[in-house]
């Protein structure tokens, strides 16, 4: 989401006009940024004098050096170009003289099918064919950590120890300098920050942004990560979007608030007898029907499934869904329905926002096109509902491991088609390798439990 202040955002400005605006804002260098398959920000610095080349051809990268491209090491298809989107050009308040511009992946002069941002472009085009667009409000949770002398990761604030730390106003002031700097940086980039708070684990925080069109929201999320990483490092802390760094405490979600629009009209308004508008019913039904496959993209690490385990934490709950269900204002369900929107509670902080959003759109459109039924809403606390009762109601569980989620993804033609054959194959290959590496790892829990047990 870009600012409209002169010199900071270009909209559809011509290269000469954009360059003049950026120069007036003190910019001398471009950070050409894109996201790899894991959702990590990548890029390079380019002098502002070469803005025209960035917009027309793109900044060049060795394709096989980027996770998830499957590009060869030789030949014309070995080059990956991040072609700048002029509307994203934005001076970075925490990095004087530098402006970020988001790049779309191109190979051999054509949009690259395995670029995550291009994947979302394709999903948006499917919506646009119907005159629709999706708005997202993304809520990232994160940890501020430090490394102890014995190698352990700990909350950066040694005094952050409340038994129920959510909304803690004792530790929040101790992180005030970072939080104020983060807010100032994001606001300086034109983001509407709604609130910042201490979350339900030690060292955990959350930022909420105003909703925006899906691509703008995903670009804003990547900008947030860049700012938070840089500002935390300046204060001697580590910014982490690891889903669950501490056993026995809640993990970090990245909830999506989702609404479907036609121009300025929200198509999820006007609830029926069951509380959902007709298009919302189909969309939610699609999200539920494809939930196992979506899990691989929204919870894409082996650590993600420690967060999704439906067990108690120090605070009394994990806040992460484990059951494929929907319900009105039900934070224990996968989909929490609200007036005019729903909250998709599956994604965690490690998800690639472009891929999660594109897969979400594909699932929702499939639900609408096939007139799927989401089933009855549940108002029960699903963390308290016995397994036998969930089974009696036909409420299935989410995959318990990344391996199981990958199996579901591989079998889901709708979600794989949204990713495209190149990226779907690469994602599955890389994540299968992650699972294999994890299976071979011997951790402290195993040593403590088994070394002397037999």
Contact 62/78 with Cβ under 8 angstroms?
yes
CA distances from 39 to 36, 231, 349 (A): 5, 19, 10
Residue 336 in tokens: 């929490």
Please tell me the predicted confidence (pLDDT) of residue 7. Answer: 34
Buried b (16+ CB within 10 A) or exposed e, 70-90: bbeeeeeebebbbbbbbbbbb
- pLDDT per position as a tens digit, 220-246: 999 999 999 999 999 999 999 999 999
Alpha-carbon gap, residue 441 to 62, rounded angstroms: 31
Q: What average pLDDT values come out for the chain (454 residues) when binned by 10 residues? A: 37 81 97 98 98 97 97 96 97 98 98 98 98 98 96 95 92 95 97 95 96 98 98 98 94 98 96 83 98 98 91 74 95 95 98 98 98 95 90 94 98 98 98 98 95 96
Which residues have a Cβ under 8 Å from the Cβ of 92 and sit 6 or more positions away?
A: 31, 98, 99, 100, 185, 189, 226, 227
- Identify the H or E element spanning 260: strand 254-262
CB atoms within 10 A of CB 171: 20
pLDDT of residue 273: 64
- What is residue 311's predicted lDDT score, i.e. its pLDDT? 66
Question: Which residue has 């391996």 as its token pair?
Answer: 403
For residue 272, the model assigns a pLDDT of 72
Among the listed residues 231, 215, 223, the one whose alpha carbon sits nearest the alpha carbon of residue 182:
231
**For position 274, what pLDDT does the model report?**
72
Q: According to the model, what pLDDT value does residue 11 have? A: 46
Residue 421 CB neighbours (<10 A):
12
d(Cα 146, Cα 158) in Å, to the nearest integer? 10
What values do phi and psi take at 48, rounded to 5? -55, -25
Only one residue has tokens 């963390």, namely 383
Q: Quick one: pLDDT at residue 3?
A: 37
* CA dist., res. 86 & res. 80, Å (int): 19
Q: How far apart are CA 293 and CA 366, in angstroms?
A: 14
pLDDT at 13: 65
Per residue in 167-188, pLDDT (tens digit) is 999 999 999 999 999 999 999 9
Burial of residue 110 (CB within 10 Å: 0-12, 13-18, 19+) is exposed
**391 in helix, strand or coil?**
helix
Q: Which residues contact 196 (CB under 8 A, 6 or more apart)?
A: 179, 182, 183, 205, 206, 207, 208
- Strands 110-111 and 98-107, bridge-based pairing: antiparallel
Task: Give CA 339 to chain center in angstroms.
Answer: 23
Residue 282 DSSP SS3: helix
Nearest to 195 by CA among 185, 184, 208: 208
Q: How many CB atoms neighbour CB 176 within 10 A?
A: 9
- 50, 76, 81, 190 from 57: Cα distances, Å: 11, 14, 7, 27
Burial, 384: exposed, middle or buried (Cβ in 10 Å; 0-12, 13-18, 19+)? exposed
* Residue carrying the six token digits 């979302």: 120
Determine if residue 340 is left, alpha or beta; phi over 0 gives left, psi from -120 to 50 gives alpha, anything else beta.
left
């Amino acid at each position: 989401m870009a600012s409209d202040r002169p010199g900071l955002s270009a909209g559809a400005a011509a290269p000469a006009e954009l360059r003049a605006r950026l120069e007036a804002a003190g910019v001398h260098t471009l950070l050409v940024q894109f996201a790899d398959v894991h959702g990590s920000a990548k890029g390079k610095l380019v002098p502002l004098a070469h803005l025209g080349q960035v917009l027309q051809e793109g900044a060049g990268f060795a394709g096989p050096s980027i996770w998830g491209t499957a590009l060869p090491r030789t030949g014309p298809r070995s080059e990956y170009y991040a072609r700048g989107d002029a509307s994203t050009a934005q001076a970075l308040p925490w990095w004087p003289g530098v402006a970020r511009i988001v790049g779309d992946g191109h190979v051999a002069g054509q949009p690259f099918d395995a670029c995550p941002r291009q994947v979302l472009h394709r999903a948006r085009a499917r919506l646009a064919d119907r005159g629709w667009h999706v708005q997202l409000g993304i809520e990232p949770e994160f940890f501020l950590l430090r490394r102890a002398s014995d190698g352990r990761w700990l909350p950066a604030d040694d005094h952050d120890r409340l038994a129920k730390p959510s909304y803690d106003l004792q530790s929040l002031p101790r992180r005030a300098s970072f939080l104020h700097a983060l807010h100032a940086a994001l606001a300086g980039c034109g983001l509407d920050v709604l609130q910042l708070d201490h979350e339900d684990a030690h060292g955990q925080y959350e930022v909420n942004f105003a909703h925006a069109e899906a691509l703008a929201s995903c670009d804003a999320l990547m900008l947030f990560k860049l700012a938070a990483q840089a500002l935390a490092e300046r204060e001697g802390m580590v910014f982490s979007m690891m889903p669950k760094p501490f056993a026995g405490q809640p993990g970090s979600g990245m909830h999506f608030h989702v609404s479907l629009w036609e121009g300025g009209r929200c198509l999820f308004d006007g609830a029926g007898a069951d509380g959902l508008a007709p298009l919302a019913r189909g969309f939610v039904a699609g999200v539920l029907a494809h939930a196992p496959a979506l899990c691989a993209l929204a919870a894409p690490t082996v650590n993600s499934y420690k967060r999704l385990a439906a067990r108690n934490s120090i605070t009394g709950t994990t806040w992460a869904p484990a059951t494929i269900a929907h319900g009105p204002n039900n934070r224990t369900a996968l989909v929490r329905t609200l007036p005019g929107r729903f909250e998709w509670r599956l994604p965690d902080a490690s998800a690639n926002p472009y891929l999660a959003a594109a897969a979400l759109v594909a699932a929702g459109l499939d639900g609408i096109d096939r007139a799927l039924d989401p089933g009855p809403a549940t108002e029960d606390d699903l963390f308290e509902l016995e397994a036998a009762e969930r089974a009696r109601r036909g409420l299935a569980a989410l995959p318990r491991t990344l391996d199981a989620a990958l199996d579901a993804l591989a079998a889901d033609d709708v979600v794989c088609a949204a990713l495209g054959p190149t990226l779907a194959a690469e994602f599955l290959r890389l994540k299968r390798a992650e699972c294999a590496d994890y299976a071979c790892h011997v951790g402290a829990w195993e040593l403590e439990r088994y070394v002397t047990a037999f």
